[in-house]
A and B are shown apart, each in its own frame.
Chain A
Amino acid sequence: MLELMGLLLIFMVIAAIVAIETRDLLAAVISVTAVGFGVIIGFFYMRAPDVAIVPIVVEVLILVILIRATLRVGLKTFVGNRAFFGMMVSIAMLMVLFLAAIRVFNDLPAFGEPIMTKMIDAPSRVYLANGLHDTGAANIVTAVLLDYRAYDTLGEATVLFASIIGAITIIRKKARKKPSEPEVEEWTV
């Protein structure tokens, strides 16, 4: 059944190439959403239902944001690439990276045999064996997310907070004032 995953990945690569290369705006945005939904199907296939719920909504949100960002300004098609020379250099660099990576990726454990099956003292085994007893959460992903590695989750919430505050700051209409002027507070929407 691993071939299915391979097919899904090939589909995603094609969708990604379309998204990058097409000149039509709407096609590009829809193709990138297709990549996103490919990721979600992959998550379901790889037994990660927890993870799959969040990106469904996130993908839709990103789709809406991107469509608004472009359609709103009435821009339908794209113009081309950077200079030809720079493009060739980039492609050559990426090819070298790809060939190097293919060589070294043979060292990775085969797909379908995670490292925790071989490593006797991998933390994952502890989580699977003792998670329910330690934390009381039957969902081991939640146990990892909110108890064993809760500090990461605090960081994640903080990233979201920072990006919201940052986006509000960037969007605000009036950024500069005279030092003597009083503070103005506005919400742009």
Chain B
Amino acid sequence: MHYALCLALFLVGLYGVMVKRNLIKIVIGLIIMESAVNIFIVMIGYRKDGIAPIMSKVMDPSVFLARSVDPVPQALVLTAIVIGLGVTAMTVAIALRLYEKYGTYDIKEIRNLKG
């Protein structure tokens, strides 16, 4: 159920990328796809009634092992977020330059190349 909703979010983003004609909408679609994957990754590491994977002096290590959520997905998602930021920055840079050249964000008017 939860995973299916996550996938729905992913597909909404993919729909935006595939169908929309506006460059900014395509960027928005990409951001939504990335958000969906990020939350999916953290969800697969979540443990019901878990605690954050940070040790403290008062905690018994075995209790910590039995209750903490999975730390690996959290490390992965941090990497994925920064990668997503890099991709977004670059996409917007190209979109801005395209605007300078064509005076529009509409992909139909930009289409010079045959594809």
Residues of A within 8 A of B (CB): 1-2, 5-6, 9-10, 12-13, 16-17, 19-20, 25, 28-29, 32, 35-36, 38-39, 42-43, 46-51, 54-55, 58, 61-62, 65-66, 69-70, 73, 75, 78-82, 86-87, 90-91, 94, 97-98, 101-102, 105, 108-109, 111-117, 123-125, 127-129, 131-132, 138-141, 143-145, 149, 152-153, 155-156, 159-160, 162-164, 166-167, 170-171
Contact = CB atoms under 8 A, between A and B. Distances in A.
A35 B35 contact: yes
Nearest to A28: B28
Contacts, number: 264
Interface residues of B, number: 78
B5 interface: yes
Contacts of A75: 105
Contacts of B86: 159-160, 162-164
B81 A9 contact: no
Q: What's the dominant secondary structure at chain A's contact region?
A: helix
A48 B51 CA distance: 9
B7 A105 contact: yes
A141 to B, nearest CB: 5
B94 A170 contact: yes
Contacts of A61: 85
A94 B14 contact: yes
Closest 5 CB pairs of A and B: A163-B86, A112-B48, A9-B5, A167-B93, A20-B16
Given A25-B24, A82-B21, A112 B68 contact: no
B69 A46 contact: yes
A6 B5 contact: yes
B88 to A, nearest CB: 6
B18 A90 contact: yes
